Structure 1
Amino acid sequence: MANAPRYRHFKDQQTVLMLIAEIKQRYAFGYTALTNKVIAQIKHYFQAQFPDADPTSGHSRFDNKEDSYLIRPKLMLGLSGGIDSTVATYLAVRAVGKANVLAVSMPARPDDFQSLAHAKLVRQALELPTNNEQVPTIVDISPIVQAHREVMNQTHLAELGLNAGHLAQNTEQRFRSGNFGSRIRIAILYDFKRAIRGRVLGTGNKTELCQGYGTKYGTPLSYDFGLFNQLYKIDIYEMAKVLEVPQVIIDTPPTTGYFEGQTHEGELGASIEEQDIFTYLLFEKNLTPTQIQAKYGASLDFALLMQNRYKVSAHKRVLNEGQQCIMIT
């Protein structure tokens, strides 16, 4: 049996390629210049937040009533080894130097070896510290996620159970466990932030934000400074090429890592490119679903689904209204 087409929400595959090119060309200055603009804004943010920081050593003096001590680094993010967090880590290091960046891997499953392997590739390429007594770059949250399941299973209401041990989780239970793991990751980053007086970088992109594809009070919606709020996944892949990100990371399908086999494309029902295109047409070009169907031979049902996702996730985007993010002009 022939493989299903990658772009199944458009009648003509060439239309998809045309729209991908249109998205890529909306910034006339190209992706090398875009990458440099993002790096410059990260650097500006860092300097504004930490005017006394030493950009070469990452040290700065922090004084309070009880103590004076050296703190480092300043910019923090979760490093899953996926394309978004990898590109964000590369950008941060290029902007402020490796001594000023703490990239923390927080596997939610004890068997999530691919995520850790890819994160290790990033650390090696950027010469970032590996996990040791001085620099905690890996925090295994899988025991916390498992403990949460066990606690919920002890409640008197069966509907609140999450299954644990040998019992398989259903889809709803998987999503609940995933949301909990997402919030734990943010809790850990902000705990580190308190300890080192750092700032948390956001790695959610425009397509994710418009679909509400993230956990309220979790990743990737909770941050101090958003890097990709105006950018599509297509843009992030292009910047990855400019930054010379390891090809294996570029080629790996995006996943949350909360349960085995999960992918963004599988969960959201469309290729990354199609999600970007519908987001672009609906929320940047401001076309209606019927206009998109008529002009581009696109699926009306999926356009309506994307529109509805935007509507029902408005409460999540409210959280970001007061947060700083990179603005591309």
Structure 2
Amino acid sequence: MSDNILLEELKVEMRIEPEKVSLSIENFIREYTEKLEREGLILGLSGGIDSSVVAVLGQRALSPQKVLALIMPDQDSKKEHLKDAQDLAQELSIPTKLIDLTPYLQEMRIYALSPFNKIPVWGGLKGRVIKESYQFYTRKTGEIPFSASLLGFKDKAFKSYLEKSNAYYRIKHRLRMVLLYLYAELENRLVVGAANKSEYQIGFFVKHGCDDASDIMPLLNLYKTQVRELACYLNIPSRIIQKPPSPDLIPGLTTEEALGISYEKMDLILLALEKGWEITDITKALEIKEDKIVDIQNLMQKSEHLRKIFIPKNE
């Protein structure tokens, strides 16, 4: 089979029937809201595509007043993401709570962990310095910082920097998770996560954070490119669909910059690996170097512990 045919086969399999997928997820949301005896949903709305899709599906599954969105920025968050989240909630007529995480993080002295804390956000200076530091680490070690952070830092270069960076950004997701469950329990709501299959498989999430700890995960069977296809069907505003995905935890880095690969390319690699393709077939079909595929495999292996709880075997 030619490389072009292999690639086309892969792209065809990546496509979804968005109407069918939407109805299935809406039924899933209704089923578990009822099964777990909840009176509504709660989700974190970031202004990104994943949480926006979850918000729309929740609104369609139940009703606007049964969906509560917590919008939880901090001082590092981009104002455009906050506005996109607020505008979408208004379009959907769903209630929101705006909670600024900055005072909580200041109380815990989290911002003091960052070596870039004194650099002003305005004008993009902090973002540029952080991006250059990220690239510097990659050049020096041959590994992206994200990959290095998936396991511990024993005997690793720049150990102190990596430890503080992890603590710095992960606490934000975990604090959001705590707030989601606080209001969920106060109002008898179901906590809905927004993780997608692409990021979950490579470990691009925070263990026990708001995209990991939840009651249901409606998008976990969908690759990021499939979430985009679903977003178009659901009429998510184009500004949300088209802007570069970002965890919005540390200024200066989009998700694709942090990973060193586009979602389109990564998703096709992940799907090919899922189908059991040989690495040589993937490199030819996608016209990509073998080491990039090996990098993705390494991310999947190194992040396995994030998706599991380990217990001792019975003797």
TM-score band by shorter chain is 0.7 to 0.9
Kept in 1, the 8 Å contact 2:7–2:285? The answer is no
Where has structure 1 moved over 4 Å in runs of 4 or more?
12-18, 167-171
Distance 1:76 1:14 in 2: 44
1:37-116 matches, cutoff 5 A: 37-50=24-37, 53=39, 74-109=40-75, 112-116=78-82
Question: Which structure would you say has the larger RCO, counting Cα contacts within 8 Å and 6 or more residues apart?
Answer: 2
Distance 1:150 1:216 in 2: 18
Kept in 1, the 8 Å contact 2:69–2:95? The answer is no
Give 2:301's aligned amino acid: K
Compute the displacement of 1:219 (Å): 3.1
SS across alignment from 1:225: coil
Deviations 1:266-286 (A, max 9, x none): 101111111211111112x12
Compared CA separation, residues 17 and 251, structure 1 to 2 (3 A): farther
SS across alignment from 2:192: strand
Distance 1:241 1:262 in 2: 25
User: TM-score, normalization: structure 1?
Assistant: 0.74
Compute the displacement of 1:116 (Å): 1.1
- 1:313 paired with 2:303, answer yes
Which consecutive residues of structure 2, in runs of 5 or more, have no partner in the other structure?
Answer: 120-125, 135-161, 310-315
Compared CA separation, residues 17 and 78, structure 1 to 2 (3 A): farther
Compute the displacement of 1:15 (Å): 7.9
Aligned to 1:216: 207
Identity of aligned residues (%): 28
Determine which structure has the larger helix proportion and give its number. 2
- Which of 99, 106, 111 in structure 2 is aligned with 1:146? 106
Give 2:104's aligned amino acid: I
Compute the displacement of 1:14 (Å): 10
Give 2:21's aligned amino acid: L
SS across alignment from 2:308: helix
Kept in 2, the 8 Å contact 1:109–1:258? The answer is no
Give 2:303's aligned amino acid: S
Kept in 1, the 8 Å contact 2:76–2:249? The answer is no
Aligned to 1:118: 84
Compared CA separation, residues 296 and 119, structure 1 to 2 (3 A): closer
Compute the displacement of 1:121 (Å): 1.6
- 1:282 paired with 2:273, answer yes
Compared CA separation, residues 185 and 314, structure 1 to 2 (3 A): same
SS across alignment from 1:226: coil
Distance 1:241 1:102 in 2: 23
Aligned to 1:61: none
Compute the displacement of 1:289 (Å): 2.5
